[in-house]
Structure 1
Amino acid sequence: MIHFPAQRRGPLSALSLRLAAALGLVLLTVAVVYLDRSGYRDVDENGLTLLDCFYYAVVTLSTTGYGDITPFAQSARLVNVLFITPARVIFLIILVGTTLEVLTEQYRTGRRLGRWRRTVKDHVIICGYGTKGRSAVSALLENGLDKSRIVVVERNGTALRQATSAGLVAIEGSATRSSVLEEAHVRNAKAVIIATDSDDASVLVALTTRQLTAGQVRIIAAVREAENAPLLRQSGAHHVIVSSATAGRLLGLSTSAPPLIDVVEDLLTPGQGMALAMRSAERHEVGKSPRELESLVIALVRRGKVVTLADRAGAVIETGDMLVHVRDDRPTANTTAS
């Protein structure tokens, strides 16, 4: 099941609101008729009980009108003209409006789903919307990726609601199932980020993705234990990030070299000061040394491989190189630059 970002109140909420309005209108009509019950009579010329008032209100507002209870007093007839008749019209509008609301919402959702299926391409699939998945989405958005090009695959209901509330398209189901990944149009995807809560699930997702895409889609996965990283690479993952080992290294740095951990946190935290970024080399930069540029370049990406500045190949920028650099990510700097 595909869940789209909520743009308006859902059909169930609208139905509940209209049902409450209709019930309130019925109760108000009962109260008005009951207060003026002496002006009404039934076929037996008896007065109205409270149950008779409920019966008259429901029959009248629903336009059934059996005629067994009629207003004979001038005040009762005036109430029917000024209140009962407008209430009947409002009641019908509520009923018809509810039906139209539900049908329109279903039609709108169907059109939205069809349009999404036709246009989704070069998107990024996030398998798992836990802490790692949400952080991955934040990083993608910070680097300029539009929300419409991010698809979340998650089976947890709470995480699904969080994803749609964040403006993302979410697909309900397990990413280990090929049918779910097919629903996410994995063959047209640019990349698949595996951020599940277990290493065995990550391996199954990687295997399923590789089988469906024949290795044409980049797979990035996170694992808890370093011993599972080779297995994930064999399963088709192009990049594997070991969360436990990375956390351990940061803990070690915080003990042996405390300032380094502050630098790493600064680089990984958006809007704090420094941030890692990558851009294409411009024409006037080709042939120059990366160290001569105004921005702080720390590495080159050439034909898909990372070239460090310490390598001889990294001494000169070539056509087609991607520059990995450190940018100023402070909000004040960004505001000034804009």
Structure 2
Amino acid sequence: MKDHERPPARPVRLSLFRSLWYRSHTEARDDAEAGRSITMPVRIGAPPLLQVLRRLSIALLVLAITTLIVYADHDGYNDNSDGSVSLLDAAYYATVTLSTTGYGDITPVSDTARLINILLITPLRVLFLIILVGTTLEVLTERTRQQVRIHRWRVRTSGHIVVVGYGTKGRHAVQTLVGKGISKDQIVIVDAQRKSALAAGDDGLVSVTGDATRSETLVKAEVQNASRVIVAPQRDETAALVTLTARQLNRRATIVVAAREDENVPLLKQSGADTVVTSSSSAGRLLGVSIVSPTVAQTLENLMTLGSGLDLIERPVSRAEVGEEPRSCADLIVAVVRGKQFLDYADPRLARLQSGDRVITVSRAAPAADEQESFT
């Protein structure tokens, strides 16, 4: 049985605490494999000097709090040198206690002081030690944190968009999605090249490294819970296998596929694609238009390029537009989707707009520069 014909593996969704406390051999293997293949967005940490100063400040704060706690009950402590505990003695006791030095010259003698040592001083001592060895703990817990991040992402991911292929077509598709207001948290990249997956992580996207024609790879991308899938590999035969596998894993998702040749469109639709965009024929038509009318070609390029001046958008008809003629609306309406019918601007049934219509308009939108900078 071929890989794309295998029944999808059902992922085990464990609670976060259970995954940290106990994992079977299968779960441990899956987590290890996920850690190697799934790349999470890079988090920008504080500079090393700032981290050291921050930890030093927290340590001094813990020391000050401990000093105040001891001094507030200084009558419950005994100093072997003079019998009384001053503020300086309280600071000295806090220092040697938090550092676990403990010379024994100042000791709690009352029940209250000993109870405070048990309930407050001891936790503060542990916190102080954690702060001091924080760098070492970060190194030791880095792998655990990564597994926790991946586990939380896999549990929460649903209704997202999976983009197979992070080449030129995949990058521009993601750029358009982000420009249309879709959060990067809702986009997952799948690419066989580790370099492309790392580039997606640098762009703030979750990526999965692996062969998208295999169901195991798409399961890692949670394609079974995705709402939309974009298939944009380099070869049409790869696109057909990916589409077939994705449709087998998810019967409800909308699948859009990029193809190079028109003759492969029927095969891709039989594989489960809802929409097939042919890159070579589209480029050829644009070349022909550019020769005949360069300005028309420039207008088409503006319509297809987000933030270049003119954008094609689809939106629901507003309450004020219901009952109006399309030509009387403020936006330039070029088509209307009514139910399952697509009506262009010249269709006689478009005499009046109706409630529930979705209009396709040409509008001038401000470029989303802050969203596009990360892809440049």
Q: Looking at both structures, which has the greater relative contact order when contacts are Cα pairs under 8 Å and sequence separation is at least 6?
A: 2
Normalised to the residue count of structure 1, the TM-score between the two structures is 0.70
Aligned pairs for 1:293-312 (under 5 A) are: 293-312=329-348
- Are 1:273 and 2:309 matched, yes or no? yes
Deviation at 1:330, TM superposition (A): 4.2
Q: Which moved more, 1:127-136 or 1:112-121?
A: 112-121
Q: Which residue of 2 aligns with 1:144?
A: 181
In structure 2, distance between residues paired with 1:204 and 1:217 = 16
RMSD: 2.5
Q: Deviations over 1:230-282 (max 9, x none)?
A: 11111110100000000000000011122110101111223221111111112
Q: Which amino acid is the alignment partner of residue 43 of structure 2? A: Q
Q: Which moved more, 1:146-155 or 1:175-184?
A: 175-184
- Are 1:328 and 2:358 matched, yes or no? no
Q: Aligned in 2, Cα 1:99/1:152: closer, same or farther, shift over 3 Å?
A: same
Q: Deviations over 1:182-207 (max 9, x none)?
A: 11111221100001010000000111
In structure 1, distance between residues paired with 2:351 and 2:39 = 49
Secondary structure, aligned partner of 1:171: strand
- Are 1:259 and 2:295 matched, yes or no? yes
Q: Which amino acid is the alignment partner of residue 126 of structure 1? A: V
| 8 A Cα contact 1:124 1:192, kept in partner | yes
Q: Which residue of 2 aligns with 1:226?
A: 262
Q: Which amino acid is the alignment partner of residue 169 of structure 1? A: V
Secondary structure, aligned partner of 2:197: helix
Q: Deviations over 1:72-97 (max 9, x none)?
A: xxxxxxxxxxxxxxxxxxxxx9x965
Q: Aligned in 2, Cα 1:255/1:228: closer, same or farther, shift over 3 Å?
A: same
Deviation at 1:103, TM superposition (A): 2.7
Q: Which residue of 2 aligns with 1:168?
A: 205
| 8 A Cα contact 1:126 1:193, kept in partner | yes
- Are 1:314 and 2:350 matched, yes or no? yes
- Are 1:130 and 2:167 matched, yes or no? yes
| 8 A Cα contact 2:160 2:225, kept in partner | yes
Q: Which residue of 2 aligns with 1:113?
A: 150
Deviation at 1:110, TM superposition (A): 1.9
Deviation at 1:320, TM superposition (A): 1.9
Q: Aligned in 2, Cα 1:258/1:219: closer, same or farther, shift over 3 Å?
A: same
In structure 2, distance between residues paired with 1:320 and 1:174 = 42
Number of equivalent positions: 252
In structure 2, distance between residues paired with 1:151 and 1:248 = 31
| 8 A Cα contact 2:306 2:367, kept in partner | no
Secondary structure, aligned partner of 1:284: coil
Deviation at 1:111, TM superposition (A): 1.9
| Gap runs ≥5 in structure 2 | 1-36, 49-129, 369-376
Normalised to the residue count of structure 2, the TM-score between the two structures is 0.63
Q: Which residue of 2 aligns with 1:102?
A: 139
In structure 2, distance between residues paired with 1:166 and 1:304 = 37
Secondary structure, aligned partner of 1:222: strand
Q: Which amino acid is the alignment partner of residue 254 of structure 2? A: R
Secondary structure, aligned partner of 2:159: coil
In structure 1, distance between residues paired with 2:161 and 2:350 = 30
Q: Aligned in 2, Cα 1:189/1:313: closer, same or farther, shift over 3 Å?
A: farther
Q: Aligned in 2, Cα 1:280/1:103: closer, same or farther, shift over 3 Å?
A: farther
Q: Which residue of 1 aligns with 2:235?
A: 198
